[in-house]
Structures are given as structure tokens and as C-alpha cells.
Structure 1
Amino acid sequence: MSKIKVLLLGATGETGASVLEGLAADDTFHVSIAVRPSSTDKPAVRALVARGFPVIEVDLNTKLDPSLLKPFNTVISCIGPEAQQSQLNLATAAKAAGVKRFVPCAFITICPPGGVMQLRDAKEEVYNHIFRLHLPYTIVDTGFWHQISFPPLPSGRLDDIHFMGENNLYGDGSAPNLLTDLRDIGRFVARIIKDPRTLNKKVFTWSDELSQNEIYAVAENLSGETIDKKPVSLEEMESIVAKAKQDLDADPTNIMARMALWTHEYNLSKYFRRDNTRKNALYLGYLDARDLYPDFQPVSFVDYFKEILQGNGKKPYAEFLSSHELVHLSVADLRPGLMVYIRIPARPRKASRESCFADWLQGPIKF
């Protein structure tokens, strides 16, 4: 039986890397990697070539030659958040090439379109383009990762792998949220994209549906530490989102303001609107991957937290962060009182932090 030929975009990002590993572990697929012409000599790409993955140069900022995509049955996009609109050219070429299944860059929390989350709406514009083309598709959303859902501990023993954030408690902490281990995304995708039941459907993945209260309880019970939580009310959250929108409206080119708004809208959607739930996903027409594949054994949040307590965790984006200049930002934009340490590409001192952060977003960071 011939293998399914897949072209994967964004394979060096966190989500894309998970998808690549999931497909590579399944003999059903033959995977090729699409990269920007400027990225072919990057170490991460060279490492994929050394593993035997064919690499194809694709410039999404220009009209694509459909013949580039003609050899592929399936195209999967895991590109960065600022590049969502570049998928329009990709989808148009995929339709002309006769691609049998197009998987756009979804991979976020459950949320209805139309003004709740700007990041969601940017993705929905791509979906609507797909629908207008009558391009066969599968949309996969994944809830929130385990890897960015656990709280820091007072002892600091998880600081090396904790991504960012404080121990905020939104509302009463009871809002349930779908969670997926980052490593399971690729395993789910490998099942989903060869399943005829998922063609022209939306699918959601999950291992757990946990509230903040339940996550804090897991962290405290397994660590033996008591976590001081900082309450955030609905009124505070709405005010923060409104201020973030004002900041972005004042300067739509400000990447920091855009990232801040995305962060706040995630929190408002997850913790106050309660969008990211199994019940809401089914209401919005998604298929449940756990129903489709009852034999699939995802990594639970409890098991993940046990792993990281034993020192086996990995910080998201660690390889990218370790190779860039460390800059400390006090970012009131992101969350009240939040102190964020990130690494961004070194630039001349006169360069703005916004321009540096734009490079960071358009690099291997994937959503």
C-alpha cells in the first residue's frame, strides 16, 4: 500500500515538531518539509535534512506554483501566529494542485469566531477562504498545552521549565478547560488525517478537562507546596482586554500590543466565557478525537506534572530561547504585575523591543 505523502510547514516550531514526530512514527506517511528560502541553512532545518526528510523551499508571500504541491496528498500548516494570512496563497495553490486534505494552522483553544479572540478570527479568515475554494480540509484544535498550564512553585524548582506567568486565579477558578500534552498533538494528528470520518470536519483533542482549582490542587498535592494565588475578577479582565485593544488600535503595527491582546483574550475566553470545554466544542460542531479513537492513551496532566517534578520536563521553545540574547521585560501589557523573561534576537541597541519581538513571533514560535 502506498504511503500518504504529506507536506508539513512549520516543522521546526513546537506544534510542528510534535506533528512531525507523530507522523514519522507512523509508517503510513512519507513526510516532506516546507521551509522559507531564507531558512534552508538554519541548524534546525539542517537537522531535519540529516534525518532524511526532504526539504522544499516555499515562499508563502508570493503566488505559489501549484506544481510544488501536486505530489502531496495532504498539506499541514503549523506556521506562526503573525503569518496566518500567508496561508491564503497556500490554500489557493493546494486547490489548484488537487490536494486531497488541507490542514490549516488551527491548534488553539475552542472558541466561537466573531470578536471573542483576534487570533481565532485571523484563523477563521483562512478557513473561510478554504470553504470558498471547496478545498478538502480538516481543522484540528487542541485546547491548551500541559506545558504552559502548570503554575510555578514557591520553591522555584520548576522555574527552569516554566514558560511565563504568575499564579493568577481567574474568577472563582472553577472554569473547566480542555488540555492536551504537546507531545500528543502529533500522535492525534497522525490518526486524524488518515481517517475518512474527519474529512471536511473540525476535530478537538484533549487528555483532561480541568479547572484552575483542580490544576492548583494537583500541583499542591504532588509537590507538597502551598501556592499563593492572585485573584483576577471579570471586571478586571474586561478592563485589561479593553486597554489592550486601545493600545493595539493606537498602533496596529505594535507586535507587543498584539501579543498582549492575544494573551488577555485567551484568559477571558477560557476562564470567564468558558469557551474551551468539551461541551462547547461539540456544540460548535467539532468531533471528539477521544470518541473517534477510544484506544488512544493520552498523557494526563497528572502524569505530566509527575514527570516535571522528577526533573524530566522541557521548557517550551527552549532551543530557540537558548540561542538568543536574554532581555528582561516588565510587561504590564501582558498581565498585571507580570514579569516576563524572554530571549529575543540580538539587534543594535537602537532597535525597539517591538521590532525584536516581531522577529521572535515570526521565527519558530508556532501556535
Structure 2
Amino acid sequence: MSKQRVLLLGVTGETGGSILQGLLGDPDSFDVEVLVRPSAADSPRIKELAERVVKVHAVDIASLPELVKTLVGIDVFISAIDPGSQLAQLNLATAAKEAGVKHFIPCAFTTVAPAGGIMTLRDEKEQVYQHIRKLYLPYTVIDVGYWYQLSFPALPSGRVDYASVAPRLTIHGDGNMPTMLTDLRDIGPFVALIIKDPRTLNRFVIAYGDVLSENETFHIMEDLSGEKINRVHISIEELLASRARAAAALKADPPKAGARMVASGENYKYSKYVRGDNTPEHAQYLGYLDARELYPEFKPRSFTDFVCELLAGKVPKAYASRAEEIKKFRHD
């Protein structure tokens, strides 16, 4: 089988970085190229990446002619664009169709939830998915649950604070709602498997490492660390009120990045802990293929595996370059 020519957008982000590692880990299957904005082309990170990939394309993604020219000959296009730029993918999909791209992977990579007023981010993604379908552009939507890296509780000793974006001690409701969780580092290997598999063409796929409630994640941390965590309980009523306040703040000032981040966080909590959307059962109902069933040979890290690494000081911090910015707006 000949190698696929893959073009990846969003390589400097957390998800894009994981995908890059997954693709580069399978050099017999992929020739990897990256797409960056012209403003980022001369950054040290991109210059370093240029030594590891076949080619770096610096292109204005708002320019349809430039995109079409760049995408000609690409087999698989993967978008890991930032959350605030989801609708920029409308132009990317149009260009991919004109250029004859064989497989378009839009920026999904989130928790499972139906569209329609539950999560603004999910609704923006749905606009992209509908546009792809109108174009009859071959696609695969890949969702991944919620990261382990954002799901572990803090310990009284502070020994895992080195990897924490914002220390969390909160239990929502009774804490028993299960949710799919994934190690950020496993997203890339999952993607590499999925884009090679013809069974996933024009389908939604869910990839995850574990299914746990908040109570279970806290118990695992306590059992493995030997420390007792003092929980902060937030009722469902408080969560709903907080979500309503965040929505009102965003409506009052839509362009404000902080308001958008807070509202997005509240929507995630509502979907995961009130509605319970992010489960394998709901994914199956919504028509997802389960990557755990498709690729039994791949063993993603369990949350217990992750915590063992975390306690050993071996887990890289997510959003390390943006930690202070995110910490200001994250209230778990």
C-alpha cells in the first residue's frame, strides 16, 4: 500500500501536536506536511518542525485560491484548528473539495453530545459537518471524550500540581455520572489508525481510554497516592445557574475571549454531568463507531496508568504556554 500524503493544520496546539506524533510514528504509512498561518511560519516551533516533516506550507486560510493550490495532491487533510476558529473550516472544506482531497478530517476531537443548544462549540462544529456533507466531501469525524490531563483532582501535598492547568477539587451533583476520558497522548495514535481504515469513511468515530465518574477518578487518585482529597461539592442547581450566568455574560460581549472560554467550560459540565451525553452508549445511539472495538490491538492508557505516571512526575503539562490565561477562567 502506498503512503498517504497527509496535511495537518493546527500542529502547534495540544491536539494537533498529539496527531503529529501519531502520524510521524507510522512513517511507512504517511508523508506528513503541515499547514500554518504566514504569521507563524518563522516561529522557532515551526522551524523545528520543518526538520521533521516533508514540507511546511504557510498559507492564508481565508484565501480560497491559495488553499486549493496547496491542497491539490493531498490524500488526507486533518484540521486541529483552535476552538475560536471553527467556522474557518467552511473555507477549508470548500477548498478541499475543489482540490480533490480524498479524506477530510474536520476539527472534532471533543466530547460526545448532540447538536442543538447544548454546547455552542459543538453547534459550530455541526455547521462545518453539514457544509462537508453538502459538498459530498469524503470525511471522518473523530471525537475523543475529555482529556485525562484536565480531569485529575489536586492532592493536598501539591505533588501533581506540576501537571495541572488549574487544580480541581470539585464534584458535580452526586459525582456518579460516567464520562469518556482519554489521554491526550493517545489521540495521535488513534487518528493514525482511523485515517487508514476504510470502514471509517463518512462515519463518526469515538476514541477513548476509560469511562469513569468524577467519584471514581477521585478514588483512583486517593488509592494510588495515599492522600485524602477534600472535595468541593456543587449541586446541579448551582451548575445550571452558573451556566446561565456564563451564557448571559457571553451574550453581552460575544467577542470577549474570556467570556467564551467560561461559557464553553460551563457547557462541557452541563453536557457531561447533567445530561450525561459523553458515554459509549450515547455515542452508539448517535451512530458512532467505537475505536476500541475497531482496533483491539491498540491499548490506550487507562486512567490508572495515567495517574501512575502523574505521581511519578512523568506527565507533560497540557497548555503549558497558556496555563495562566486558562487558569483565570477555569472554575472546576
Query: TM-score scaled by structure 1?
Result: 0.87
8 Å contact kept, 1:64–1:89:
no
Classify the secondary structure of the residue corresponding to 2:137: coil
8 Å contact kept, 1:154–1:225:
yes
> 1:229 is matched with which residue?
231
Report how far residue 61 of structure 1 moved.
Answer: 2.1
Report how far residue 166 of structure 1 moved.
Answer: 2.6
Is 1:93 the counterpart of 2:99? The answer is no
Report how far residue 53 of structure 1 moved.
Answer: 3.5
Classify the secondary structure of the residue corresponding to 1:217: helix
Is 1:314 the counterpart of 2:282? The answer is no
Equivalent position amino acid for 2:18 in 1: S
8 Å contact kept, 1:208–1:300:
yes
Q: What is the 5 A alignment of 1:24-35?
A: 24-26=24-26, 27-35=28-36
Distance across 1 between alignment mates of 2:166 and 2:3: 40
> 1:14 is matched with which residue?
14
Distance across 1 between alignment mates of 2:326 and 2:13: 23
Report how far residue 251 of structure 1 moved.
Answer: 1.1
Is 1:218 the counterpart of 2:220? The answer is yes
Report how far residue 329 of structure 1 moved.
Answer: 7.1
Distance across 2 between alignment mates of 1:63 and 1:96: 10
Distance across 1 between alignment mates of 2:127 and 2:5: 26
* Runs of at least 4 residues off by over 4 Å: 326-331
> 1:249 is matched with which residue?
251
- CA offsets, 1:187-228, max 9 Å, x none? 000010010000000000011100011100000000011111
Q: What is the 5 A alignment of 1:81-160?
A: 81-160=83-162
The change in CA–CA distance for 1:50 and 1:237 in structure 2 (over 3 A counts) is same
Pick from 161, 164, 168 the counterpart of residue 163 of structure 2.
161
Equivalent position amino acid for 1:81 in 2: P
8 Å contact kept, 2:161–2:167:
no
Distance across 2 between alignment mates of 1:329 and 1:74: 35
8 Å contact kept, 1:36–1:58:
yes
The change in CA–CA distance for 1:327 and 1:286 in structure 2 (over 3 A counts) is closer
- Aligned-pair Cα RMSD in Å: 1.5
Distance across 1 between alignment mates of 2:184 and 2:253: 33
Which range moves more in the overlay, 46-55 or 235-244?
46-55
Pick from 233, 248, 263 the counterpart of residue 265 of structure 2.
263
Pick from 280, 299, 321 the counterpart of residue 297 of structure 1.
299
Equivalent position amino acid for 2:171 in 1: L
Report how far residue 93 of structure 1 moved.
Answer: 0.5
- CA offsets, 1:171-190, max 9 Å, x none? 11000010111111010000
Query: TM-score scaled by structure 2?
Result: 0.96
Q: What is the 5 A alignment of 1:185-224?
A: 185-224=187-226
The change in CA–CA distance for 1:277 and 1:108 in structure 2 (over 3 A counts) is same
Distance across 2 between alignment mates of 1:63 and 1:330: 37
Equivalent position amino acid for 1:48 in 2: L
Distance across 1 between alignment mates of 2:29 and 2:64: 31
> 1:36 is matched with which residue?
37
8 Å contact kept, 1:64–1:90:
no
Report how far residue 150 of structure 1 moved.
Answer: 0.5
Equivalent position amino acid for 2:61 in 1: L
The number of aligned residues is 330
Report how far residue 109 of structure 1 moved.
Answer: 0.3
> 2:80 is matched with which residue?
78
Distance across 2 between alignment mates of 1:284 and 1:327: 34
Report how far residue 43 of structure 1 moved.
Answer: 1.0
Distance across 2 between alignment mates of 1:238 and 1:283: 25
> 1:352 is matched with which residue?
none
Distance across 2 between alignment mates of 1:6 and 1:328: 31
Distance across 2 between alignment mates of 1:162 and 1:129: 37
Per residue, is there more helix in 1 or in 2? Answer: 2
Classify the secondary structure of the residue corresponding to 2:87: helix
Distance across 2 between alignment mates of 1:228 and 1:269: 25
> 1:354 is matched with which residue?
none
8 Å contact kept, 2:33–2:53:
no
Classify the secondary structure of the residue corresponding to 1:2: coil
Report how far residue 105 of structure 1 moved.
Answer: 0.3
Equivalent position amino acid for 1:50 in 2: E
Is 1:281 the counterpart of 2:293? The answer is no
The change in CA–CA distance for 1:64 and 1:271 in structure 2 (over 3 A counts) is farther
Classify the secondary structure of the residue corresponding to 1:116: coil
> 1:362 is matched with which residue?
none
Distance across 1 between alignment mates of 2:325 and 2:212: 33
The change in CA–CA distance for 1:105 and 1:329 in structure 2 (over 3 A counts) is closer
> 2:57 is matched with which residue?
56
Distance across 2 between alignment mates of 1:327 and 1:208: 28
